[in-house]
Amino acid sequence: MVTISTNQFSNGITLRIDGVLFDIVDFQFVKPGKGGAFVRTKLRNLKTGGAKEVTFDSKAKVEQAIVDKNDMEYLYREGSNYMFMDPETYDQIPINEDQVKHMLDYLKENTTCQFKTCDGEVISISLPNHMVFHVTETTPWVKGSTAAGGNKPATIDTGAVIQVPVYLNPGEYVRVDTRTGEYVDRVKAPE
């Protein structure tokens, strides 16, 4: 068991509190005029994805979870499992749909995802922050319709619907922020 003091906190560190794993999303050292100093943190539960705020005494020691990070390539779906491969060893592992449902709108074959594991168990999987998608369906652009500005819905090659500028047409490629689902920019067709 590795313990760290609150002055060693930094964003992204994983803590084990009462057997539950949490990532530090944000923290702030507070020294009030009266009383002892403390650290206010915002933590994200790695199992549920929920966030909570926890306050620690400035002298507190907390258990740090040892987390391994490695890249895995998504290959294909087999029933309710999604098959990923380690690009170094070529080992394939099945991942249950529950563990990837948060990213299914943007998951494409041959995408390299980051896996976090703790004690041999996969605790989180994340997509690259930005990915390129093919626009398969959207209403056509009519010249002069940009006077009102704004966005329109477009279906991308994974089946997800995102908001894009009105001038985009089917067949074009767009970069999307996979964390928020927002359109970033139009890009050239990948080679």
Q: What is the pLDDT of residues 24-77, one digit of tens each?
A: 999 999 998 888 899 999 998 887 778 899 999 988 999 999 888 899 999 999
Q: What is the pLDDT of residues 126-140, one digit of tens each?
A: 899 999 999 999 987
What are the structure tokens assigned to 163, written together? 């908001």
Spatial strand order of the sheet with 81-85 comes to 92-96, 81-85, 68-78, 112-118, 121-126
What is the model's pLDDT at position 32? 87
- Dihedrals phi, psi of 100, to nearest 5 degrees: -115, 0
Report whether pLDDT(12) > 90.
no
Structural domain span for residue 154: 130-187
Q: Do 91 and 106 share a domain, yes or no?
A: yes
Report, as an integer, the average pLDDT of 77-81. 92
Q: Do 85 and 46 share a domain, yes or no?
A: no
Q: Do 11 and 60 share a domain, yes or no?
A: yes
Report whether pLDDT(22) > 80.
yes
Report, as an integer, the average pLDDT of 154-165. 93
Chain centroid, CA 22 distance in Å:
15
Q: Do 150 and 182 share a domain, yes or no?
A: yes
The amino acid sitting at 110 is N
Q: Do 56 and 8 share a domain, yes or no?
A: yes
When pLDDT is cut at 50, 70 and 90, the band that residue 147 belongs to is low
Domain end marker among 81, 102, 126: 126
Q: Do 6 and 59 share a domain, yes or no?
A: yes
Domain count, the chain: 3
Closest by CA to 118, choosing from 5, 51, 22, 18, is 22
What is the model's pLDDT at position 144? 61
Q: Do 13 and 50 share a domain, yes or no?
A: yes
Q: Do 134 and 120 share a domain, yes or no?
A: no
Residue-averaged pLDDT of the chain: 89
Q: Outline where 30-170 has alpha helix (H).
A: 97-100
Residue 163 has, within 13 A of its CA and on its CB side, a CA count of: 6
What is the model's pLDDT at position 15? 92
